[in-house]
Amino acid sequence: MRCRYLVAGAVQGVGYRMFVRRHANRLALVGFAKNLPDGRVEVVAEGPPEAQRALEEALRDGPLAARVLTVEKSEILDEIDVLKAFEII
């Protein structure tokens, strides 16, 4: 299962992507986290549903310096590229 999360709030410049990578690695998820020009962070993660639920919970909390306002989740159905690790882009 591959999901895309769009996280809005004070999530850039506060260690949010590193926070996401730590949680994704702990949950054995692969994918990436990247800053978007509009101030949001995009997270794409692939792995079992229970790991996705745990990641989504962590995304809503974020690191101490972040202030998460919203997390939008969508499932990605056509998984063309192969993800092998969790990266910060």
Of 35, 40, 53, 60, which residue is the catalytic one? 35
Compute the distance between CA of residue 52 and CA of residue 56 in angstroms, rounded to an integer: 6
Marked catalytic residue, from 2, 17, 21, 40: 17
List, in sequence order, every residue forming a beta bridge with 73; answer none if it has no partner.
5
Q: Is residue 25 among the annotated active site residues? A: no
Q: Is 35 noted as a catalytic residue in this protein? A: yes
Catalytic residues: 17, 35
